[in-house]
Amino acid sequence: MSQDTKKEKKFTMTLPPEELMACGHLACQGCGATLAMRYMLKGLGQKTALCIPACCWAVIDGPYPYSSLDVPIYHCAFETAASTATGVKAGLEMAGDPETTVVAWAGDGGTFDIGIQALSGAAERNDDIIYVCYDNEAYMNTGIQRSSATPYGAWTTTTPVKHFKNRPKKDIVAILAAHRIPYIATASVSHPEDFVRKVKKAKAIKGTRFFHVYAPCPTGWKSRPEDSVKLARMAVQNGLFPLYEIEDGEKYTLNLKLKDKKPVEDYLRLQGRFRHLSPEAIAEIQAEIDVRWARLLKHVEA
């Protein structure tokens, strides 16, 4: 390409240019959760209200009364993300504002463990909220403690190398699918176009909508900060975190079909939290992924 034609070429933007997340926030270098927030707000636009329980984002956003987001935020108690969002939505409707999208934005601890009762309640009532769980696979904000989203084999400060976590990750999407809510989607920060498309789709649906977003955490995973996006991409490509949607708890759509899944080993080797794993343990993880993948394909074909 000659210099002149290059000068004229437009800068490619595959996402909406609108930026509702400002600089100056307090996330670690290479944080996946900030990318998730950035993409979600790009999809939802300014008419959005957030309810954030205790999680990394409660800190990232900045100390009161400052905030790095251009939308209103309600900081709520750890277990109440979904119920607070329900209340905010009801309040807005009473005040004559049916338009604003209310989003509960919680980490994996606040979704898989502490907030699951409120989430289940909201899903059962089919309250008109979007619930986003950004999953960094442990309680990162309080110092890397095990959560029920921590995968098999991982080191955390409460599951040290000698006693690494020996139970598989909870399948939160299946739990939500059992509630028969109108829309469930998984998304990864490595595929922002897919994420923004799903957010826009969810915005137009009424009822409880759930997002499970894969958000790498270099601090807690003991990985290099520049690898965050790469790790998320690898997790999608090796079938550990497939991208799919579920409508009305039944209609499964696979967004990214994989011809041959990459081996999980390369992904595990990039992270310090899996360094102690023996080849047998890695083979076990691979087998578990294959089983889950086969189950998902069965759902999609059904």
Chain residues that interact with another protein, rule: CB under 8 A: 1, 3, 6, 9-15, 17-27, 29-32, 34-35, 38, 61-62, 64-75, 192, 218, 224-230
d(CA 145, CA 132): 21
d(CA 302, CA 294): 12
How far does CA 23 lie from the centroid of its chain? 21
Shortest spacing between CB 235 and another protein, in angstroms: 16
How far does CA 65 lie from the centroid of its chain? 26
What's the token pair of residue 260?
């041959």
Shortest spacing between CB 51 and another protein, in angstroms: 12
d(CA 27, CA 57): 8
Cβ closer to another protein: 8 or 99?
8
**Residues 128 and 49: beta-carbon distance below 8 Å:** no
d(CA 283, CA 103): 39
Cβ closer to another protein: 173 or 231?
231
Shortest spacing between CB 117 and another protein, in angstroms: 26
Cβ closer to another protein: 63 or 96?
63
Shortest spacing between CB 12 and another protein, in angstroms: 4
Shortest spacing between CB 273 and another protein, in angstroms: 19
Cβ closer to another protein: 66 or 166?
66
Shortest spacing between CB 167 and another protein, in angstroms: 31
Cβ closer to another protein: 2 or 166?
2
Residue 147's nearest CA partner among 100, 113, 115 is 113
d(CA 38, CA 44): 10
Cβ closer to another protein: 88 or 176?
88
Cβ closer to another protein: 124 or 266?
266
Shortest spacing between CB 78 and another protein, in angstroms: 18
